[in-house]
Structure 1
Amino acid sequence: MTTSDLADALGGDRHMTRITTFYPRRGRVSGRHEDALTRLWPAYGVDIARPYPPLDTAALFGRQAPLVLEIGSGMGDATVAMAAADPGRDYLAVEVFPPGLGNLLAVVEERGLANVRVAQGDALHLLRHMLAPDSLDAVHVYFPDPWPKARHHKRRLIQPDNVALLRSRLAVGGVLHCATDWADYAGQMAEVLDAADGLANLHDGFAPRPAHRPVTKFEQRGIAAGRQIFDLLYRRTA
């Protein structure tokens, strides 16, 4: 992947002055996924790209409803299950992996889900430039890139500055829900979230897996490999 390609994957920010928190994977886009991207993107898609216009979510979804932001939706399994079970809220799924975006769009169409939209690019750019403060009912960060090598820990999404940004976009009472199958990252998440101003842990330490978070194929692989799953739920208090 060239520098230009990477910049496009990050939402058009060609200066790339910020540390990225994900690895922009490449993968083959099947005919089904390509068709879904071509046909459905104009109605369901959001490009995270300069000049980063403010996102009018009421126009995007055709209604004014509580908004859930899912960062790193993968192939969209969790997004589809949660949105189908929660029609009163809208779901905006952010991903950089085109096959995942195409699959999610195809399933959204098949299931007739009116409360799902997808965005391609860096979620931090979306949060910083396109979403208004106090605009989110919930943020889901499920199984983000763990960056297991110590020299790469700075690339992890759950860092103090990023958490402050996430908190600012949540409405008071909104919930930040993180999940990971890397014990080291779970410990770091807990430390960062416990120290963050204006967030309160909804449990005494790690949370039991909430019923609303479906078990995906990705999570099943982690369990099969012997990794423990950690959930953390924090509510914005101020």
Structure 2
Amino acid sequence: MNNTENISGRPPQTNFNEAFNNDLDYPRLGNVTFRRGTLTDNQEAMFNENWPQMGKELGDELIDVDAWFGRAGHTTIVEIGSGTGTSTAAMAPLEADTNIIAVELYKPGLAKLMGQAVRNGLDNIRMVRGDGVEVMVRMFEPESLDGIRVFFPDPWPKARHNKRRIIQSGTLNLFASRLKKGGVLHVATDHADYAEWINELVEVEPSLEYKGWPWDGCPQLTDRQVITKFEGKGLDKDHVITEYLWEKK
């Protein structure tokens, strides 16, 4: 796998077109970096105590899901860009038999999710700190996941930044490669221009069958149950929330 130069000891960014021998479009994000943020002393202590069991950093070691969760044969869903984890923590009790892996760059967001998980005894949540696309490439085997969720990704609204959007033809192909047959990809946005962008891509990946929204026969929970902070902001501005579901063929 050919990559760009390693920065600050972290895994170098993947050259996706060379790695997968295609000419599809992938997010162009430059160097893989971690967003900074400050934790309170209590948050830092809680994070340091629980991270060895609940968290992993972006790396090149494949995740052994059964070993990490201490149980075998359970549905596993990865949520990319979990933010502060509001919807993740709200859905987790309703998915007690499902392994939920939240991927996020922002440490305070992971700390908030961890705090909710610890306080409420949510033992089906784990976390990875890193760029979601890199985590998917480096840390999950093909056809290993039952579901992938991308809720309210950054819309990168300026036209010159559209290439940074996570939903691209190449990313959809990558997601599909990591899903088992029958696995589900669930995307939600409250940004009208991003919804138009996604509408142009719903049929672009041949190994994904677009199911629309809602999908009554979906094998996984799709009702996010709570209004996340991003949803609340969108609803306050009378934005329309658009959701998408695909099934791996």
Bigger helix share: 1
- Which of residues 42, 45, 60 is equivalent to 2:52? 42
Q: Percent identity?
A: 36
TM-score (norm 2): 0.84
Query: 1:54 corresponds to which residue?
Result: 62
Tell me: CA distance 1:23–1:43, structure 2 relative to 1, closer, same or farther (3 Å).
closer
How far, CA to CA, are the matches of 2:190 and 2:109 in structure 1?
20
Residues 79-108 of structure 1 deviation map (CA, whole Å, 9 limit, x = unaligned): 111111111110000000010111111111
Note the 1:30-179 alignment, pairs <5 A. 30-49=40-59, 52-64=60-72, 65-179=74-188
Per the TM alignment, residue 23 of structure 1 is displaced from its structure 2 partner at its CA by 8.7
Asked whether 1:211 is paired with 2:209, we answer: no
Residues 186-237 of structure 1 deviation map (CA, whole Å, 9 limit, x = unaligned): 111122122211111223xx54894245321221111102211110111111
What SS does the aligned partner of 1:200 have?
strand
How far, CA to CA, are the matches of 2:192 and 2:179 in structure 1?
26
| C-alpha contact 1:7 1:16 (8 A) present in aligned 2 | no
How far, CA to CA, are the matches of 1:109 and 1:24 in structure 2?
24
How far, CA to CA, are the matches of 1:121 and 1:216 in structure 2?
21
Unaligned runs of 5+ in 2: 1-5, 17-27, 216-220
Note the 1:186-225 alignment, pairs <5 A. 186-203=195-212, 206-207=213-214, 210-225=222-237
TM-score (norm 1): 0.87
Unaligned runs of 5+ in 1: 1-5
- Superposed CA RMSD in Å reads 2.3
| C-alpha contact 2:14 2:134 (8 A) present in aligned 1 | no
Query: 2:39 corresponds to which residue?
Result: 29
| C-alpha contact 2:62 2:139 (8 A) present in aligned 1 | yes
